[in-house]
Amino acid sequence: MSRGWGPWDSRPPGSYHFQPHPFGAPHGRPGMGPSRPPWQPQSYPRGNPRHPHHQHRQKRGWDGNGFEEWGGYMAAKKAKLQGQFQERQGKNAASNSTSAAIFSVPSADELKRIMMTHGGTYHHYYSRHHTTHIVATNLPDSKVRELKGEKIVHPDWITHSLKEGRLLDDHPYQLYVRPPANQATINFPKLDDSAKGLMKAEIPGAERSGGEENADSASSRNTGEKFTGVSGGGNANKKVGSSTKANTDVCTDVSADEYLGITGSHKREAKSESLLPLVNMQDQGVGRGILYVPEISKEASGKPDLHSSRVTESSEFNGEGLPFSGRPNILEKCVKTGDVLDVQVVNPDSFDEEVKKFGAGSSMDSDHPLKGNCASERTPLEGVACFRMKSKDEVCVTAIVKEPSKKEREAASLEDNVNCKTVEEGEGTGMVSKPLSSTTNEDYVLPHSNLPQNLKMTSELEIPQKSELSLADDESGEKHGKEGGRSQAPAIDSCDNEQEVMNLNEDDWDWEEEKVVIMPKSPETVKPSTSHSTKSSKDANFLSEFYSHSRLHHIATMGAIFKQYVDEKSRRKNPSFPGLDRFRLWLQMQPERVKEEDIESRVIMHIDMDCFFVSVGLRNNPDLRGKPVAVTHSKSRGPIQPRGQDIQYELEYYQKKTWEKGKKVGSSMLMDENPGEKANQLFDDTCSTAFVSSCSYEARAAGVCNGMFLGEALKLCPQLKTITYDFESYKQVSYLLYDTLAEFTHDLEAVSCDEMYVDCKKILKDIKATPLQFASFLRQEIKEKSGCPCSAGLGPNMLVARLATKVAKPDGQYHVPSSQVGAFIANQKANDLPGVGWKLSKRLDILGIKTCLELQKLNEGRLQEEFGAKSGTTLYHLCRGVDNRAVTSTHQRKSVSAEVNYGIRFTKPDEVQEFLNQLSAELASRLSSLSVKARTFTLKLKVRALDAPVEPVKYMGHGVCDNIARSVTLGIAAREPSIIAREVWKLHCQLSAIPSDLRGIGIQATRLEADDMSSSSSSVAKQQSIRDLMTANAKPKKFQPLTEVGKIDFDVLAQLPPDIQDEIHKEYHLPKKTKVQQDGKGPIPKPTENIKIGEQEKKKAANLCGETETDALRELLHQWVASGPIPQEEDVQVLSSFLCDLIQEGELEKTLLLLKRLHREVRKLKEERQANCWIEAYSCIVSRVQAQCLVNYNATLDLSE
């Protein structure tokens, strides 16, 4: 890694050079030779040189640095103004029966829950583009003015609608008079059931005159916290869903959603959106909707599943009607302001029938104008629409769309993959380029480049060459239109491209639509600006520049590196632990000896470097030792120019948040005053918004915290000195830390680059030593080698060890014997429990709980009710000092992602696409270096709340945002950048966020699968030979739920008060004085034995063939698959034979059932272990069975699905 210079080498030439003992070096320790510069070069394992780094902070709440609100600001604020702000979150959170609280005045949280539950979307902040209604009870004039044109309604509108089971007209609930303009009453069709459906459909729909909005994500799925949401989309989904299969699809897939989204749009805003949705659908390429406009059908409107919405704005409608290029004339006639659009999603199965009903059977005629385009589509979406005049002012549009079934869609994706792959291979672009930040993705090939057919299409269509322009337009148009959201209202904040969209003509539209999805952009369009600036996302090298400077990226990457490092070490065959000899030697010189009675059955140590980044940095800045120091990027003390008024906006939230945090900080830091509050008051727009990554303990004494803005820190501690980051050194010190520990044991669990757990049981037993002696020795070695201090906490379990570390810091150690756990834990702050962050802390506050002792007063049931089943149970145990997790050195990654929520500033869709391309390449690169592929890709966006200032307080930060995400699952795992880019672009189109409002973008890959065995020898989940697997897995450590009997921490249990003990005994049905399994990991049967046992069982059953009941056989299969890491050849043979026997006996059904069951199990395993061996075993079995079938029936079983 490093250039071989030792830790200092990464520094600029002048500053490194060994200094005798820069830091408070260790005073030589007995057993070791005089310290040589410990940080001497060490060969580090070839881990990828990704950026390392990491950090942690205590749960105090500085992280958020306060500029993000904490929940339903608008609603909360109003409520607060009215003095009715009662945080009853605790209450509502737990109950499913929200209904109770719902009808009273709900808190912000409750409102959010209610809205989301019923398909609406809740926005923390008002978003012009997304928010349809602002819920408030009172607003200051200034706000009202600010929100001019928006609907401000009383929360009763929601609760009453719920009560009524339908969406009520919001008029009576509007707080400030608004021009209803053309908003005649909306005649919502009555939805079948509950308010649920209504809310979804309607809320959104409630047309916001402004029209600007929304949409977005609102589209169909529930977007994160938007208020409206989903309206239409949601509605359609749910409602329809219940009656048809379409529903399912919608939820899962792109295309389906699209459509629904469209529906939603219609409703929600009357605007032109109505038609757009369809357009969007097509654009996305997910599935194209072909809308055919036949004659008027009268039954259209009456159906229960139809939703109507009023078209409030005609202008665009006409323009957007173009998508239905086939019959523009009809559209023009039917769609205009005041129109009502009905949309129905039909179950594919009954589609044809429905079509006939509407006399539109020919909708898919080959000569249909859209047909040509559709040809390339993978999942055509069929649809029919009817427009009919209801009155002179009203036109009813009914659309019937057949959604592709899930299977179809999956197949389509699969096809795509294949296509792309082929192309890529041919072009040699299949391989991902370089990884991370370090490199740009110059060679990245745009997805479209790989899709010749698309190009072809384009040419066929002979689109005019205004392509570029059009393209951009399209994109924006589609987005806007799509969800019905935002686009429309040109007046207000029009999106750059809006106008153009409207100008498109039919032909262009078709063309463009296609283009949006696949057309390559012209070089100029795509190419990043030539400037060398890397300030924002539109600049060429932004991504790599950002990653190379991001402390959080380094932290996360290093965390992963060390988890893997530990994993690898733990799998080593013949480990040697040279440190133990040194330890023995050292021990001999220690006067203290272990006393029998002090021997603990279990000792876990938690080690964490003290103010890690600072400590490493101080090695080169010895002058600063003993002074308040912080690591930060900032060089000056603030922005060049004052930021201006926007500060006020976020300050509101900031203050609120800091206050809360302050409480927490205050208590945990023993400060007698709330530092946050103080800083808060002094912070202004001239202060630096650079984060303090780590600060020295001297700085902490002044109230400075990790994660704080430098500006705040300086207010609290004017003499604070800052030093710069040195990521390379952090990584080197981390390796020193891990390598040092690895010389003693491999029973380690990496937490981060500066922190880990160590299972000391064996060492302390083998070498008679006290826990503290071991800790002393280790810490001494670490300090000598690295020049950095660390602290250690020891206890009978991980929880106690961790809490002890906090007591030990800085540069200390602390052991909590099992006999003192009860007393120790009782005094701990509930907020300090791992897993209790800001939110939970707040909820505990409401309950009046501050310490663990107080928390212990709530029984488990109550906690579960309050915090959820698992969280409740976990809390229940944690506050009692009970933690049965075993130190786990093996690690299996479940997801890989690449995200950027800083510096994201776009103006055009092209830029977004280009960025997504780069991010896709980055992700592909990461997947590649891990030798895994993924089946599911999720696009995560942060969208600026529209009333949030365009530029937040934090320079280039994301500010207050709504988060939205959407995922797609492919038929087969992939990692080609072109495929990721293409899929992600589709997702992006669906979310239809306005480029200029994007503040964060991320792509996450899940459902990972290992490469085929043939491939590289990278690492991680790499498949090994069966033999290797056997040995490697001989020592698996699995995280067990706390409730697992085997995991009960008996040592601790023994120390608990009798009544608690009883409770636990009862809980687990334990014999009263169990003393078994003190090990912690003991309870779980040994893997090897396990395997054998399992196998035998299976074989026996199969052999006996006695098990004839399907259920029993299924269970058997399950056990077999769970029996061990690899399928045994013998078992495969036995099972195959058995199934072949069944075939011969004519038990086809049963065989089919069993095979499907097995397939499912095996597939699950594949995902879990990222291993293929079971899949292979399955294939093997299937071939044999099919062969048998051929023999007996001259046919094969249909195992699809």
Ligand X SMILES: Nc1ccn([C@H]2C[C@H](O)[C@@H](COP(=O)(O)OP(=O)(O)OP(=O)(O)O)O2)c(=O)n1
Restricting to residues 810-869, name those near ligand X by CB under 6 A: 810
Of positions 8, 122, 612, 1138, contacts ligand X by CB under 6 A: 612
**Could you say whether residue 608 binds ligand X (CB under 6 A)?**
yes
Angle between helix 467-483 and helix 909-929 axes, rounded to 10 deg: 80
**Could you say whether residue 535 binds DNA (CB under 7 A)?**
yes
**Could you say whether residue 1136 binds DNA (CB under 7 A)?**
no
Per-residue tokens: 25: 């070096």
**Could you say whether residue 619 binds ligand X (CB under 6 A)?**
no
**Could you say whether residue 58 binds DNA (CB under 7 A)?**
yes
**Could you say whether residue 609 binds Mg ion (CB under 5 A)?**
yes
Residues contacting 558, CB < 8 A, separation 6+: 50, 51, 52, 53, 54, 730, 731, 734, 752, 753
The structure tokens 């949409």 sit at 215
**Could you say whether residue 729 binds DNA (CB under 7 A)?**
no
Closest CA to 1156 of 1113, 1092, 1097: 1113
Closest CA to 485 of 917, 961, 144, 946: 946
Whole-number Å distance between alpha carbons of 585 and 419: 65
**Could you say whether residue 482 binds DNA (CB under 7 A)?**
no
In three-state secondary structure terms, 1100 is helix
**Could you say whether residue 755 binds Mg ion (CB under 5 A)?**
yes
Residue 901 binds which entry of DNA, Mg ion, ligand X, none, with Cβ cut-offs from 5 to 8 Å by kind? Answer: DNA
**Could you say whether residue 611 binds ligand X (CB under 6 A)?**
yes
Size of the site for ligand X (CB under 6 A): 21
Whole-number Å distance between alpha carbons of 577 and 767: 13
Of positions 508, 608, 911, 1051, contacts Mg ion by CB under 5 A: 608
Residue 98 binds which entry of Mg ion, DNA, ligand X, none, with Cβ cut-offs from 5 to 8 Å by kind? Answer: DNA
**Could you say whether residue 54 binds ligand X (CB under 6 A)?**
yes
Of positions 221, 267, 619, 809, contacts DNA by CB under 7 A: 221
CB of 638 to DNA, least distance (A): 6
Of positions 55, 132, 222, 231, contacts ligand X by CB under 6 A: 55
What value does the CA radius of gyration of the chain take, rounded to a whole number of Å?
32
**Could you say whether residue 1200 binds DNA (CB under 7 A)?**
no
With contacts defined by CB under 5 A, name the span among 101-109, 344-352, 564-572, 753-761 that binds Mg ion. 753-761
C-beta closer to DNA: residue 368 or 664: 664
Helix (H) or strand (E) holding 150: none
Whole-number Å distance between alpha carbons of 35 and 18: 13
With contacts defined by CB under 6 A, name the span among 54-62, 497-505, 533-541, 1172-1180 that binds ligand X. 54-62
Closest CA to 982 of 930, 926, 923: 923
Helix residue ranges, H only, 206-347: 231-235, 241-243, 246-252, 254-268, 276-284, 314-321, 328-334
- What φ, ψ does residue 143 adopt, rounded to 5°? -65, -45
**Could you say whether residue 363 binds DNA (CB under 7 A)?**
no
**Could you say whether residue 693 binds ligand X (CB under 6 A)?**
yes
C-beta closer to ligand X: residue 613 or 683: 613
Helix (H) or strand (E) holding 1008: strand 998-1010
Please give, one letter per residue, the 3-state secondary structure of 406-436. Answer: HHHHHHHHHHHHHHHHHHHHHHCCCCCCCCC
Whole-number Å distance between alpha carbons of 1160 and 1166: 10
Of positions 267, 521, 551, 905, contacts DNA by CB under 7 A: 551
Whole-number Å distance between alpha carbons of 388 and 371: 24
In this structure, what is the dihedral angle of CA atoms 469, 472, 476, 477, given to the nearest 10 degrees? 40
Q: Judge whether 118 and 195 are in contact, CB under 8 Å.
A: yes
CB of 697 to Mg ion, least distance (A): 11
CB of 752 to ligand X, least distance (A): 6
Window 1059-1098: contact mask with DNA (x via CB under 7 A):
----------------------------------------
Residue 224 binds which entry of DNA, ligand X, Mg ion, none, with Cβ cut-offs from 5 to 8 Å by kind? Answer: DNA
Helix (H) or strand (E) holding 794: strand 790-795
C-beta closer to DNA: residue 472 or 968: 968
Whole-number Å distance between alpha carbons of 528 and 526: 6
**Could you say whether residue 938 binds ligand X (CB under 6 A)?**
no
Q: Judge whether 521 and 23 are in contact, CB under 8 Å.
A: no
Residue 618 binds which entry of DNA, Mg ion, ligand X, none, with Cβ cut-offs from 5 to 8 Å by kind? Answer: none
Summarize the annotated binding site as residue ranges. Answer: 608, 754-755
Closest CA to 224 of 938, 825, 781, 731: 938
Window 744-783: contact mask with DNA (x via CB under 7 A):
-------xx-xx----------------------------
**Could you say whether residue 694 binds ligand X (CB under 6 A)?**
yes
**Could you say whether residue 665 binds ligand X (CB under 6 A)?**
no
Per-residue tokens: 306: 């139809």
**Could you say whether residue 751 binds ligand X (CB under 6 A)?**
no
C-beta closer to ligand X: residue 241 or 559: 559
In three-state secondary structure terms, 1151 is helix
**Could you say whether residue 612 binds Mg ion (CB under 5 A)?**
yes
The structure tokens 């307080």 sit at 953
Is the alpha carbon torsion for 1042, 1046, 1050, 1051 positive or negative?
negative
Of positions 582, 839, 1035, 1065, contacts DNA by CB under 7 A: 839
C-beta closer to Mg ion: residue 56 or 1037: 56
Q: How far is CA 325 from the centre of its chain?
A: 39
Residue 744 binds which entry of Mg ion, DNA, ligand X, none, with Cβ cut-offs from 5 to 8 Å by kind? Answer: none
Size of the site for Mg ion (CB under 5 A): 6
Restricting to residues 20-59, name those near Mg ion by CB under 5 A: 56
Summarize the annotated binding site for Mg(2+) as residue ranges. Answer: 608, 754-755
Q: Judge whether 694 and 730 are in contact, CB under 8 Å.
A: no
| Identity at 561, one-letter amino acid code | I
**Could you say whether residue 749 binds Mg ion (CB under 5 A)?**
no
Judged by phi (left if over 0) then psi (alpha if -120 to 50, else beta), residue 851 lies in beta
CB of 804 to ligand X, least distance (A): 13
C-beta closer to DNA: residue 19 or 895: 895
Preceding amide of 810 cis, omega within 30: yes
**Could you say whether residue 669 binds DNA (CB under 7 A)?**
no
Whole-number Å distance between alpha carbons of 948 and 926: 34
In this structure, what is the dihedral angle of CA atoms 116, 121, 123, 124, given to the nearest 10 degrees? 10
Restricting to residues 858-917, name those near DNA by CB under 7 A: 867-872, 874, 891-903
Determine the residue with CB nearest ligand X: 55
Window 1019-1058: contact mask with DNA (x via CB under 7 A):
--------------------x-x-----------------
DSSP assignment letter at 1154? H
Residue 694 binds which entry of DNA, ligand X, Mg ion, none, with Cβ cut-offs from 5 to 8 Å by kind? Answer: ligand X
Residue 390 binds which entry of DNA, Mg ion, ligand X, none, with Cβ cut-offs from 5 to 8 Å by kind? Answer: none
**Could you say whether residue 555 binds ligand X (CB under 6 A)?**
yes
CB of 747 to Mg ion, least distance (A): 19
Per-residue tokens: 528: 């990043």
**Could you say whether residue 697 binds DNA (CB under 7 A)?**
no
DSSP assignment letter at 756? E
Helix residue ranges, H only, 847-906: 852-855, 860-867, 869-878
With contacts defined by CB under 7 A, name the span among 62-70, 134-142, 368-376, 1014-1022 that binds DNA. 62-70
**Could you say whether residue 726 binds ligand X (CB under 6 A)?**
no
Closest CA to 979 of 937, 929, 1012, 1015: 937
Residues that bind Mg ion (CB under 5 A): 56, 608-609, 612, 754-755
Residues that bind ligand X (CB under 6 A): 54-57, 63, 551, 555, 608-613, 693-694, 706-707, 754-755, 809-810
